[in-house]
Structure formats: C-alpha cells, structure tokens
Amino acid sequence: MGTDSENYDFTIEYRSTTNFGQADAPSRLIAEQSTTGEVVVFAEVEKDSSAIFVNALSLLPVDAKTIAEETSKDPILKEVLHSVQSGKWPNKSDAISRFSSLKESLSTQNGCLLIGDRIFIPDTLRSTVLPELHDGHPGMTRMKMLARNYAYWTNINSDIENFVRTCSRCQETAKNPVKAALHSWPLEDKPWIPIHADFAGPMDGKMYLIIVLTYSKWPEIVEMSSTTTSCTIRELRHLFAQFGNPQSLVTDNGTQFTSTEFDDFCSRNGIRHIKSPPLQPQSNGKAEHFVDTFKRSFKRMKENSPATEALQKFLLNYRRTPCLSAPGAKSLAELFLGRQIRTKLSLLKPSAITNSNNRNRKMEEQYNRHHGARQKNFNIGDSVCSKDYRSRAPKQALGEVAQQCGNRLHDISVDGQIWKRHANQLRLRVSSNPNVTETPTELVELLLLPMSRSAQVTEEASSMLPTTTVEARPPQSIDSSTTTTTPESHAMESAESDHDALQSD
C-alpha cells in the first residue's frame, strides 16, 4: 500500500477509532488472518518495494553525490581514494596496482575519483551510465567520444561496443554489414558453358530477355511480347537450337525462373539452374552489368532509329568492339565465333588479293573427266543461243554476249532484255550469213576436248560435217544453205545442249 501511494500527493490526518464510524468488512477479515499469512504478505510487499526502488534509481540521473556515495562503498576504490589523498601506494596489492600506473593522472574531488578530467564510475553505476551515453542511439565511435569527456572505468571501450551491438533498435536500423570477400565465377575457356539470363525493361512498353556468356561475354537480346515462363522457355529453346544446351544457367528469382515448369525444362535438358540470392544482383553480375549498359545505349540510339533497328545496331557494334577484359583483348565475335564479323568499318581496310590458283585442282579434273566437260570461252559480242526459261517448255533464244560477270557468268542481250546465264546454259550460234564463215560449234568443242575423250567423239563429229559439194567460192566462206544435217546429229546436238544447261560450275 505504501509503495503504491508514492505516486500520489496526499495529507495524513490522525483520527480516533471512535470517530471512524462503522468498520468495513475488509478490515475485519484482515484481523482474522493468521500470523503466517501476514508475514508472507509483508515479505512480498518488501520485495516489490525493493524492485521498484532499484528501477526508480536506474531511471534517475546519476550525479556526483551519488558517485561519491558508491565510491565510498567500493572497498578497492575507497583504498585507491585514500592512496591518492595520502600519496602512499601499497606494493603488493594486485587490485590497486593497476591504478598506481595512473597515479600521475589521478585526483580526488568531493569524494569522487578522477582520471584527468574524467570521473571514475563505480561498478554499481555503470549499467546506469551506459544508457545515458547511448541516449539518442549514437554509434560506437560517437559514444566513445562522448564518454571521453565525462566518464571512465576499466574496459570502458569494450563495454560500449557490446552495449551498442546488443541494442535492438540499433540492430534494426544498422547499415548493411561489411561485404564478404569476393568469390568470382570460375574462368571458363570455352563458350556457352555457363550463361547468365535476366530481363531488361520495360522500355517503351517492351521487355527484353538478356543472355550473356561467361567466357566471351557474347550477348543475345530477344524482344519479348510476354515474360511468362512459357514465352521465356520458347525463346531459350530457339537459342539452344542454334548453339546447344549450356551446362549451367544463372538467373535471379523472377517468377518465370522459379516456377516448376522452368525447373522441369532445365532438368529435361540437363541444365543446372543456379538462382542468385534475393536482392543480391551481384551474384548475377554478368547479366546485371550488361542490362545497365544496354539500357543506357539503347536510350540514346532509339532517338534516331526505330527500336528494332537500334537494337540490331547496338548488338553489331557491341559484338564487334574489342574487349579489354577478354583474353587477348579480342572482340566478343572473335571469342565466340572464332572470327571477326564484317561491318561498314571493314571497308576502310583494303581488300587482300586472293590467289586465283588456290583451287581444288584434283576435284576439277575428276569432274571434267567424269562429265566430259570442256572449256568454254565467250567474248563480248559473240552470238549465242540461250534457253528461255519463262515457259514450261524452254526453247532456244538468240542473243548476244553483253558483258562478262565472272569466269562462268555472262549478261546476254535478248530482244533488248538482259539475261544472266551460266556458261553451261550458252552455246555459240552458227551464223546464217553466207559471207561469214563460222566454225561449227561441234568442231570447236571437239578441239577443246581432253585427249581421253577425243577418240570417242571423232566418229560422231565426222557425221556432222557437210555431205554436199559446194560451189567454188573464197575459202573463207561456206554457204550454210548447202549444208545438210542428218537427223542423228540434230538429236545429239539437242541432247547435248540440254545436258550442258543443267551443269553447274
């Protein structure tokens, strides 16, 4: 009752029992209780009073008077206080010897022990002083600096550090812990072993699937209409069909990567799926770093080009540029494809002169021997026959060589139109002008035959020679009107021309 009344202001007035009037029931019940019960009740009241007193004392501010009282109660501090005042220090006291090394800095004032201008706090008051120093929840350093101006006791720095570490409010609002030592991904010497995947966007309402290789840093960017698991798997299947399945795939914890469907897809294809910790993008740093690069570059490029064209330009230049962190400072294309890709900048370098004799001679000889192929040379202005393939039944059309486009390709002028024809699709035309002598095509081809084939066609070619006698004329002119052609030679000529038209270079 007494402890509860401490929180109230009241006036005590004596009144005789005769003036109380009728006694109430609780007072009679207490009078009838046994002595043992009264002792227990008073013991509990005293215990509660002691706890309340200690708690109240801890809430009260500590002053110099309180410190002096607690110093006088501490036997060690009391002896140190006496040694400082008398100037005589005991030689064999271990408890006081630690103070004797500081005797030049020790002094007393109003019953308190001072070290320099800092007051020495007894053990009983340290638990009260520490919360005062931590008022406002300063950090360890600031709390130590504050204590150096006011208080001191043995191992005060350790006590301050432990007090701050165990403060629940400080732990809840503490900064991120010191970063752990970096453990980088293993260096690979082959492409498409581990790959990293992430999503970039939204950018202009679109999302992009990012794939980055660990070894070559080769990027793949896919514009996504949807980022669901099914759409993500579909695009990954397309990439894996081109380059094969990777050994491992590193992703974050996006819903499309954590679904059961995606785990089943990786398991069926023998891919180890590695997921980075939540909110720890550094574990998927390959993809995260490229996403940042892509966003900044894409934002600048799409101002002058459509989004699709800007994406293609970015990939072409990024893959073509040498990378200082790559082995040998090679470009990403050289590391992944084994060659440098060609861009418009490649035109700045002069083209290397190719060796025209660097051909497969053995293959050419085998082909010529097997097919009886012959060398065909056409000059600009030569009259030739070329098939017109515009109809289902191609027939010969008369034309003239307008231009040579290569060793075997020619532009043929036919009725004002230019046809591109291979040498296998052309044959020299025999002129019908009686004043112009042209060697029959068959004889020209016979002269150009290899020796192994000339004996086989000699008899056939002799049947193609004119069989009628012509009138005496200048030896350079032969009248084609007097030349007769046998049906056999005509059939052979038609079949041979069809065969030549189907041959490729």
pLDDT value for 478: 40
Residue 209: Cβ-neighbour burial (10 angstroms; 0-12, 13-18, 19+): buried
Q: How far apart are CA 420 and CA 413, in angstroms?
A: 9
Q: What's residue 262's pLDDT?
A: 95
Percent of the chain with pLDDT over 90: 16
Reading the block at residue 47, the tokens are 């215990």
The answer, yes or no, to whether residue 238 has pLDDT greater than 90, is yes
Beta bridge partners of 212: 196, 219
Both tokens of 124, joined, read: 């009983």
Q: How far, in Å, CA of 181 to CA of 1, rounded? A: 62
Please, what is the average pLDDT of the chain?
76
Q: What amino acid is encoded at 29 in this protein?
A: L
pLDDT bracket for residue 227 (50, 70, 90): very high
If one compares 40 and 14, the residue with the highest pLDDT of the two is 14
Q: What's the confidence (pLDDT) of residue 397? A: 87
Q: Print the SS3 string covering 317-378.
A: HHHHCECCCCHHHCEHHHHHHCCCCCCHHHHHCCCCCCCCCCCCHHHHHHHHHHHCCCCCCC
Q: Is 358 left (phi over 0), alpha (psi -120 to 50) or beta?
A: beta
Pairing of strands 106-109, 112-115: antiparallel
- Averaged pLDDT for residues 292-302: 85
Specify the pLDDT at position 372: 79
The model's pLDDT over 342-360, given as tens digits with 9 standing for 90+, comes to: 888 888 888 765 555 666 7
Axis-axis angle for helices 123-133, 140-147 (nearest 10): 120
Quote the pLDDT of residue 355: 58
- By the 10 Å C-beta count (0-12 exposed, 13-18 middle, 19+ buried), 314 is classed as buried
pLDDT exceeds 70 at position 137: yes
pLDDT at 271: 94
185 vs 121, higher pLDDT: 121
Q: Copy the structure tokens of residue 374.
A: 């012959």
pLDDT, residue 92, reads: 63
Of the pLDDT bands very low, low, confident and very high (cuts 50, 70, 90), residue 413 is: very high
Neighbouring residues of 441: CB distance < 8 A, sequence distance ≥ 6: 427, 428, 430
| β-bridge partners, 198 | 210
Q: Which two tokens stand for residue 498?
A: 């069809």
Q: Letter for the amino acid at 103?
A: K
- More confident site: 464 or 133: 133
Helix (H, G, I), strand (E, B) or coil at 505: coil
- Please tell me what DSSP assigns to residue 339: S
User: Band of the pLDDT at 38, cuts 50, 70, 90?
Assistant: low
Q: Which domains does the chain have, with CATH numbers?
A: 64-172 (1.10.340.70), 194-346 (3.30.420.10), 375-502 (2.30.30.140)
User: Is it the case that residue 491 has pLDDT exceeding 90?
Assistant: no
Q: Encoding tokens for residue 71?
A: 């110093």
Q: Which stretch, 41-50, 148-157, 462-471, has highest mean pLDDT?
A: 148-157
Q: What average pLDDT does the segment 194-210 reach? A: 89
Residue 210 CA to residue 461 CA, distance in Å, equals 69
Closest C-alpha among 412, 372, 413, 390 to residue 500: 372
Q: What are the pLDDT digits (tens) for 105-129?
A: 888 888 888 888 888 889 988 888 8
User: Cβ(337)–Cβ(345) under 8 Å?
Assistant: no
pLDDT at residue 296 above 60? yes
For residue 151, what are the β-bridge partners? 119
Compute the C-alpha angle 72/78/82, nearest 5°: 125
Query: For residue 483, what pLDDT band results from cuts at 50, 70 and 90?
Result: very low
Verdict on whether the full-model pTM lies above 0.85: no
Amino acid found at 66: T
pLDDT computed for residue 266 by the predictor: 95
CA 502 to chain centre: 52
Name the pLDDT band for 28 (thresholds 50, 70, 90): low
| Contacts within 8 Å (CB) and 24+ apart, 258-267 | 259/229, 261/229, 261/230, 261/233, 262/229, 262/232, 262/233, 265/233, 265/236
Of 41-45, 216-220, 424-428, where does mean pLDDT reach its minimum?
41-45
How far apart CA 325 and CA 463 sit, in angstroms, is 76
Tell which phi-psi region holds residue 338, choosing left (phi > 0), alpha (psi between -120 and 50) or beta: left
pLDDT at 8: 56
**Would you tell me the crossing angle of helices 140-147 and 156-165 to the nearest 10 degrees?**
140
Q: d(Cα 274, Cα 257) in Å, to the nearest integer?
A: 10
Compute the distance between CA of residue 213 and CA of residue 191 in angstroms, rounded to an integer: 7
